[in-house]
Amino acid sequence: MSITKKFLKTKPVCKVTFELSKVGAKNAETVHLVGDFNQWDQHNLPMKKQKDGSFKIVLDLATGHEYQFRYVLDDTLWKNEDGADGYAPSPFGDNNSLLKI
């Protein structure tokens, strides 16, 4: 699992690449990225499955913000990012991953 941040010089935007390894995806058929940047919608940010079995998506996110997010595997298993900038309690008794831009 990994997150890569590329800050744009001309706009207050960061291109963020979210990548979930094959091992991290636990052989899932589908993975969706959910977070406060998409109102936790479990279906509008599907990650693209790569040839090696990993999943990847790139988002443009506004700088100067902190975002909470998680991955949803096969519409059932919620997973945090091991390489997150931190973690925050969720209202469901567990934690969400944090992304600081």
Beta bridge pairs of residue 68: 98
Are the C-beta atoms of residues 1 and 33 closer than 8 Å to each other?
Answer: no
Closest CA to 63 of 5, 14, 2: 14
Mean pLDDT in consecutive groups of 10 residues from the start of the chain, 101 residues = 90 96 93 97 96 96 96 96 94 92 95
Closest CA to 33 of 16, 57, 67, 9: 57
pTM: 0.93
Residue 59: predicted pLDDT: 97
Q: Which residue ranges form the domains of the chain, and what is each CATH number?
A: 2-100 (2.60.40.10)
